[in-house]
Amino acid sequence: MEKLIITAAISGAEVTKEMNPAVPYRIPEFVREAKEAYNAGASIIHLHVRYDDGTPTQDKARFKEVMDAIYKECPDVIIQPSTGGAVGMSNDERLQPTELLPEMATLDCGTLNFGGDEIFENTENTIKYFGQRMIEKGIKPELEVFDKSMIDMALRLAKKGFIQNPMHFDFVMGVNGGISGELRDFLFLRNSIPADATYTVAGVGRYEFTLAVAAIIDGGHVRVGLEDNLNIARGVLTKGNGELVEKVVRLAKEFGREIATPADTRRILGLKAKK
């Protein structure tokens, strides 16, 4: 069984300091959260950025500032910018961080009802546009899927040349409007991807650690972080991303999975070396 890749989703676009004071807004806070997650065992930092007041942005210059600051402290970490951005952003606005030529970036594979009137829109043409951009720039997409139909979309577009094989999926489970975080649904997604594909599972809220265990046992990979879950245990706020990663490392050791280094992760996912 391959070593376990741990991704830390350190900030997100929706959570706030009012929900958990550890949520980073300022550049030193992003560095602190990334470094603590990296030191604990994360090899990938999944990155949304904010302005100092907490406003989410896809501004290329802000991404560069944050990424450069993280690389200064963690030179070999893999930074995976989000192209999801926030609800209401245009395609080109969301794609700005790809101009920085990261090794990886996310590619959302369908539209989702986030709740109320919020719709996270990803049309087929949007997915094609994002996929083609990543092929042109040599960026490995992490295919964000919130339901089974999004896997089907990714497989269909791969056949048409908009996504390259082997594919890497992220099962985001437990989001309002998407698939639940039950084990039944994890197995449904897991058994729907190609044999040569890899996957990470991101359980939202109370599903974070139960799904982490499922992925550890199955040979998959795990995403944790403040974007997905603010608590280290039921009703107990986490001190930060490092503590969430540490818990996954303890679980992995219980089941005999070694933790992947950034070098291991690049090999497992077939990433091009960071310039």
Dump the DSSP string for 28-65: HHHHHHHHHHHHHT--EEEE-EE-TTS-EE--HHHHHH
- What pLDDT, on a 0 to 100 scale, did the predictor assign at position 252? 98
Tell me, what DSSP letter sits at residue 27?
Answer: H
Token couple for 2: 């391959």
DSSP state string for 137-173: HTPEEEEEESSHHHHHHHHHHHHTTSSPSSPEEEEEE
d(CA 25, CA 106): 21
Task: Find, among 50, 106, 38, 40, the residue nearest to 78 by Cα.
Answer: 38
Q: Report how far residue 266's alpha carbon sits from residue 231's, in angstroms, rounded to the nearest whole number.
A: 30
Give the pLDDT score at 273.
63
> Chain centroid to CA 45: how far?
8
Other C-beta atoms within 10 Å of 72: how many?
10
Contact 158, 165 (CB under 8 A): yes
Task: State the pLDDT at residue 275.
Answer: 52
For residue 231, the cross-strand partners are: 237
Cα(252)–Cα(215) distance, integer angstroms: 10
The answer to whether the beta carbons of residues 78 and 271 sit under 8 Å apart is yes
Q: Are 145 and 156 within 8 A, CB to CB?
A: no
Rounded Cα distance, 141 and 131, in Å:
8
Left if phi > 0, otherwise alpha if psi is -120 to 50, otherwise beta: which for 55?
beta
Residues of the chain with pLDDT under 50: none
**Count of beta carbons in the 10 Å neighbourhood of residue 143:** 26
Element (H, E) at 201: strand 198-203
pLDDT of res. 117 = 85
Distance, CA of 178 to CA of 17 (rounded, Å) = 25
Domains in the chain with CATH codes:
6-269 (3.20.20.70)
- Number of C-alpha atoms within 13 angstroms, CB side, residue 188? 16
Backbone torsions φ then ψ of 210, nearest 5 degrees: -65, -40
